[in-house]
Structure 1
Amino acid sequence: MTDTIRTPEATSDTAEDTASPKAPPPSRQRASLAKDAWLELRQRPTVWAALVTLLLMTAMALAPGVFTSLLTEAGGRCDLADSKLGPSASHPFGFDLQGCDYLAQVIRGTRPSLLAGLAVTAASLLIAVVLGLLCGFYGGWFDALVSRITDIFFGLPFVLGATVILVAFPDHGLGAMILVLTVLGWTTMTRIMRSQVIALADADYVKAARMLGARPARLMLRHILPNAITPVVVVAMLNVGAVISGEATLDFLGVGLQYPQVSWGLQLNAAQAFVLDHPHLLLFPALFLSATVLSFILLGDALRDAFDPRLK
């Protein structure tokens, strides 16, 4: 019987063949997840409808004069003789209380609502990322202090708290509105960010990076933040619609923006006394407001479904 002699080359090849495949690096996994999410999102008609609606609203907010000149006749002219007239071929939205073309006024009301929603959400997201990273990573007395502060804000109703603050400062504008809504709106995203960081701080790849000498700043920014930010971004997308609704509610109650400023909430406030005789005054700003808020909600839900592996 002749013994089979294995050469070193054969032994090496066999070991390589039987070795388990290496796991892809985290950056490749994140890229694959984002690609899969985009492939799923672009197949949904609701996503495209929401995107088109929001792009149109953004264009109206950035350049309202372009749309009023294209869609209305003498959009800047106001005549009390036309007050509260209904829609017609030349004025599809009719006229408001001052006899101004209502389509032009509704288009001009897009800017403050959209600006408030985006600015408040961006500021709240920044606060949530910073505080959530620090609290979840370090813990200790700082985490306990921030947690107690968020508990206090959670116990304060959003609209009631904003109303009390804005009534105390009657000469306020859009900047003050954004500041107040940001102060009252950062808590939910901070809690979510903190919980994500706590869950990821004990992950194997974070422990390995720490053992290799990675500093806390690199651990947070390079290894934890990219994996913890997705749920917070999804909540932020949903939050834009909530902020726009909150801003319109404060305007409707009379504690938000004041005339001669133009917003959907102010238009709804002015229309409430004439809704039975002149329903167009309530219908069109409510339609624009609902379409904008619904678009952000649909996008947020779609992002959550696309990035949450438990829903696959």
Structure 2
Amino acid sequence: MTDQVLAQAVEEDTLGGRGVWATVRKRVLFWVPLAVLAVLVLLAAFPGWVGGWFGSDDPRACDLSASARPSSPGHPFGQDLQGCDVYTNVVHGARASLAVGLFCTLIALVIAVLIGTLAGYVGGWTDSVLARLTDVFLGFPFLLGAIVALNSLGDRSVLSISLVLALFSWPTLARMVRTTVRATRDAEYVQAAKAMGFPTLRILTHYVLPNAIGPVLAVATLTVGGVIVAESTLTFLGLGLRPPSISWGLQLATAQSRFQQAPHTLIYPGIFLAATVLSLITLGDVLRDAVNPKGRS
């Protein structure tokens, strides 16, 4: 009987995944942001190659005599205050901005899964202690905590900023993991696995997490967009990445002083930043609705 219950759990998990795919593949709001993000990943993976399509493949090839020049042949987005090609810098800036968003979310997700699973599955005093730890980190305002932490760091690399932002991003995800694990741990197939004497690690990795992680991954997609905005905001305020790094936040910070004379230096990186965040938020909303059975129609 227990074997049948476990087999049914695996089958339900497979059918659930098929149900999500069957739902999202019919939605235009899934494919459009996915296509936009695919293009942005291409920019981040091969910036020199893509940059050479319409402009220069070197973002630091600048001509001060062409400072703030608008769109011209070989410079479709114009040139910035240092005479560098805006298009090439936007392309190269995609790597740092996307890297911070992905690294931060991945680190936060790993922490959240570990803490949330332990708290939700074990329960008791372990749950209480980890819940209080999560509350402590939730008590820090996200941007304020990041500002304080970054001011104490000498290094402002993609990795260090990702770690700082992850430090204040994991509690929300951990709470969600805890909730979904608590809802799954009392399922029949989990009890059947316990009755058969399966190791706890196998129960967690084969039966609990696969059936609990779906909503968390959907929200993690939204987190990537929020982190990219946070990184750009911090960099704009002078607290994030610093030259010679290239990011959309740095471009916005440099362009703000001459926006009226050279609006193109701020408009183009702003458009790419907005398109990235909007695509991630839209994709996250679609996935969140799809993993919710009420959202499948």
Residue of structure 1 equivalent to 2:8: 25
Is 1:293 matched up with 2:277?
yes
Q: Is the 8 A contact 2:29 2:282 kept in 1?
A: yes
Residues in 1 aligned to 2:52 and 2:8: alpha-carbon distance in whole angstroms: 54
Q: What count of residue pairs does the alignment treat as equivalent?
A: 291
Deviation, 1:172, is: 2.6
Is 1:221 matched up with 2:201?
no
Deviation, 1:23, is: 11
Amino acid at match of 2:115: L
Residue of structure 2 equivalent to 1:169: 153
Query: Which residue of the other structure, out of 244, 257, 260, is the alignment partner of 1:260?
Result: 244
Residues in 2 aligned to 1:280 and 1:252: alpha-carbon distance in whole angstroms: 17
TM-score (norm 1): 0.89
In the alignment, structure 1 segments of 5+ residues that lack a partner are 1-21
Task: Map residues 48-197 of structure 1 onto 2, 5 A cutoff.
Answer: 48-73=31-56, 75-76=58-59, 77-197=61-181
Q: Which deviates further from its counterpart, 126-135 or 245-254?
A: 126-135
Deviations 1:30-76, CA, capped at 9 Å, x for gaps: 22222222122122222211111111111111110001111115755
Larger Rg: 1
SS at match of 2:144: helix
In the alignment, structure 2 segments of 5+ residues that lack a partner are none
Residues in 2 aligned to 1:127 and 1:31: alpha-carbon distance in whole angstroms: 26
**Runs of 4+ with >3 A deviation:** 73-76
Larger relative contact order (C-alpha < 8 A, sep ≥ 6)? 2
Query: Which residue of the other structure, out of 286, 291, 294, is the alignment partner of 1:307?
Result: 291
CA RMSD of aligned residues (A): 1.7
SS at match of 1:169: coil
Amino acid at match of 1:220: L
Q: Is the 8 A contact 1:75 1:100 kept in 2?
A: no
Is 1:249 matched up with 2:225?
no
Residues in 1 aligned to 2:295 and 2:56: alpha-carbon distance in whole angstroms: 50
Residue of structure 2 equivalent to 1:43: 26
Deviations 1:117-141, CA, capped at 9 Å, x for gaps: 1111111111111111111111233
TM-score (norm 2): 0.93
Deviation, 1:259, is: 1.1
Amino acid at match of 1:39: A
Residues in 1 aligned to 2:243 and 2:205: alpha-carbon distance in whole angstroms: 45
Residue of structure 2 equivalent to 1:230: 214
